[in-house]
Amino acid sequence: MTLPFLIIIPLFGAFSMPIISLFGKKLKEYWALIISGATLGVAAKIFYTVWKTNEIILYTLGSESPIGKGVKFPIRIVWEVDLLGALLALTITFVGFLAVLYSLGYMKHDTGLEKYYTLILILELGMLGIVITGDIFNFYVFLEIMSIASYALVAFRNDTWEGIEAGIKYMFVGSVASSFILLGIALLYGQYGTLTMSYLSLKIAENPTLVAKVALAFLIGGLLFKSGAVPVHMWLADAHPAAPSSISAMLSGLVIKAGGVYAVARIVFSIFNPGLHAYLKAFNMPSINMEAVGWVIVFFACLTLLIGNAMAVVQTDMKRLFAFSSVGQIGYILLGIGIGTLAYGSRAGELALAGAIYHIVNHALIKALLFFVAGAVIHEVGTKNLNELSGLARKMPMTTLAFIIGAAAIIGLPPLNGFASKWIIYESSAMYNPILAAIAVVGTVFSLAAYTRVLFTFLGRESEKVKSAKEPEMSMLIPMLILVVAIVVMGLLPWQINDKIMLPTARMLEQLNGEYMVALLKFLGGA
């Protein structure tokens, strides 16, 4: 059983870091690298297992079976890993490993690095916990682990005013969001008396009360905060530019996905199953109107992708521009999830979900690359103001190449990976409702304008500040190049990846046959 090691290894790495750091300056960096590399190996193994067998891994903490002695319901914490969880775990560990590698060079001039590496491992641990857990309170605990680690990392450079300011803002907003989520969980527990997600879904279907609806509203509200959807995206635009770039890459690539859109998808599809409730409704039984939930998500998605991308056009700060672009891309993912809920069980719904999942992975890679590029520019030139930067291409050709690939991929130009995922989202939204597709295309036009502007500052005439710039060191270049290769290779095999990985993942998440529940019910039957 390899699943527990996904948590054990980073936990061990984080807790041993203060001791390891006593033994030498360099050792802690290599220790973090080894730990995150090992986690990547475990995640790859788990992903391969789940993908190969196409079955949900159910792991119970502390016993063989989640079912209590003499009772007919689960009493223990279970971890339930379906393909979506495994895919996210693989993405998280991959980008996390590259971020640690990048930090070797990038964080060289900072102090307090043993705390930095402890926090980065805890951040990874929190996200991994979120994507593998099948227990809703366990989910909350991991969400808080992730959130608190990211508050601390945003404010890591506590001698800069913007770091502190962004950290405080993020912490206040994030705590409110977390308490919404906790309130939602408390309501669900009070009503149904269980915390296991799959059992909860069964209980909610048996008796969908008003409390369940209120809880759902609190959960989705809190998670939209965490994913940076539009009316509540203001923390993101401050937190991402202020954090060290290796952390921005993780925040933008992973945190808003694991703690935001992944959790939305998990709660909408695994706890409140749209198919089950549509079935109940067909027989005039009490049910929750999942169509309304879908429209709420689609509404915020459209707002997010328009405002996020439009705000990116007017930015003069490179990292702030990337941060707003992340908001915009979250809009696409939410649009996919929303249409997946609305058109549940149809071809459009399945495609939309597959597109959303595909875009989660693609955007994680692309945005990590772009923030690495921004970090390299800040590290070498010392400014991220686009008006002062111009003509970087002569002094930093590899970084410029990485930027061009990243920008082209995020706009969605064909030979790169962003194309396929966006295409699937456009196609499915056009199948469901052409107006939504038109909104999505308008969002892309804005993001094209935003990135073209940055491109002109990379090319063009050299400005004074750029004259003395040079390429960053190898430990910063290598992660960028790995990501460039990943983006290009994924871009060359878009439909194969979609058919082999993303569509099965979407089907498993959709759980047309209630796979997520059945994985637990097997124990109920045998007990």
Which residues are near another protein by CB under 8 A?
391, 393-394, 397, 400, 413-414, 452, 455-456, 459-462
DSSP-assigned letter for residue 81: E
The nearest distance, CB 493 to another protein, in angstroms, is 17
Q: Centre a 10 Å sphere on the Cβ of residue 422 and count the other Cβ atoms it contains.
A: 27
Residue 72 or residue 461: which is nearer to another protein going by CB? 461
The nearest distance, CB 455 to another protein, in angstroms, is 7
Residues 134, 137, 141, 142: what is their CA dihedral angle, to the nearest 10 degrees? 20
CA 440 distance to own-chain centroid: 20
Alpha-carbon distance of 351 to 359, in angstroms, equals: 12
The nearest distance, CB 439 to another protein, in angstroms, is 17
Crossing angle, helix 27-53 and helix 5-20, to 10 degrees?
180
* 494: CB partners within 8 A, 6+ apart: 417, 419, 420
Residue 31 or residue 451: which is nearer to another protein going by CB? 451
The nearest distance, CB 397 to another protein, in angstroms, is 5
| One-letter amino acid of 243 | A
The nearest distance, CB 393 to another protein, in angstroms, is 4
The nearest distance, CB 460 to another protein, in angstroms, is 5
Residue 120 or residue 477: which is nearer to another protein going by CB? 477
- E strands, 412-469, where? none
Residue 460 or residue 514: which is nearer to another protein going by CB? 460
**Nearest to residue 479, comparing CAs of 376, 341, 338?**
376
Residue 484 or residue 520: which is nearer to another protein going by CB? 484
The nearest distance, CB 462 to another protein, in angstroms, is 6
The nearest distance, CB 314 to another protein, in angstroms, is 17
The nearest distance, CB 382 to another protein, in angstroms, is 20
Residue matched to tokens 């912490």: 171
DSSP-assigned letter for residue 133: B
Residue 23 or residue 456: which is nearer to another protein going by CB? 456
| One-letter amino acid of 168 | I
Alpha-carbon distance of 150 to 240, in angstroms, equals: 10
User: In terms of residues, how long is the chain?
Assistant: 527
Residue 190 or residue 397: which is nearer to another protein going by CB? 397
The nearest distance, CB 494 to another protein, in angstroms, is 14
Residue 42 or residue 310: which is nearer to another protein going by CB? 310
Alpha-carbon distance of 215 to 212, in angstroms, equals: 5
Residue 452 or residue 468: which is nearer to another protein going by CB? 452
DSSP state letters, 166-228: HHHHHHHHHHHHHHHHHHHHHHHHHHH---BHHHHHHHHHH---HHHHHHHHHHHHHHHHHHT
The nearest distance, CB 374 to another protein, in angstroms, is 19
Residue 427 or residue 473: which is nearer to another protein going by CB? 427
Residue 277 or residue 422: which is nearer to another protein going by CB? 422
DSSP-assigned letter for residue 286: -
Alpha-carbon distance of 58 to 81, in angstroms, equals: 7
Instruction: Map residue 78 onto helix, strand or coil.
Output: strand
The nearest distance, CB 467 to another protein, in angstroms, is 12
Alpha-carbon distance of 151 to 443, in angstroms, equals: 30
Residue matched to tokens 């006593």: 22
**Nearest to residue 74, comparing CAs of 85, 88, 63?**
63
Residue 177 or residue 351: which is nearer to another protein going by CB? 351
323-362 core/surface letters (b: 16 or more CB in 10 A; e: else): bbbbbbbbbbbbbbbbbbbbbbeeebbbbbbbbbbbbbbb
